[in-house]
Structure 1
Amino acid sequence: MGGGYSNKTRATKFNPTGKVRKHLNLQKKRIFVPEINKFVNIEVSVQGMRTMKKNGAYATLLKAGLIKHRMTCRFPAYIPARNFLLS
């Protein structure tokens, strides 16, 4: 056939091309976090979504530093009386 590069030559230094840059598979997601009772808009990779499914959204986002830890207590130890301001 016609002249050209052989496959052996093409795979080596005679026809250099630039390196291919690979990108993450990022998706924009709106995720509900029940621990803080809010929706969070994040750009997350599919691997990150799998991690959230495995470990939970709150724990994963907390470890990534995207949300801050809030100490919430459903039953506080001390509840002042309602009429303490009246006396």
Structure 2
Amino acid sequence: MSLATLVEPQSTPFLDRRQGSANQDAPGRERRQFANSHDELSPDARELALAIDAYKLMHRRRFITFEEMLSVMKELGYQKF
């Protein structure tokens, strides 16, 4: 059996979504790792959320790893007892 018989041609063309949607007038929705609003958080959780947002902006990251989150928490002074 040849490779050509194993690989079937695509029935639909490739859609490159990095270029945006066909309708450029529609507002885009940014995917976020956490909620868009920090209004319902406790003061401590709000401080952490704002610090994480600042970290993500500074490092141009949309999503962060647990290691990065831990480093943000340590920068705020959190310690394991």
Normalising by the smaller structure, the TM-score range is under 0.3
Whose strand proportion is higher, 1 or 2? 1
Give 1 or 2 for the bigger CA radius of gyration. Answer: 1
Taking structure 2 as the reference length, the TM-score comes to 0.23
Whose helix proportion is higher, 1 or 2? 2
Structure with the greater relative contact order (CA < 8 A, sep ≥ 6): 1 or 2? 2
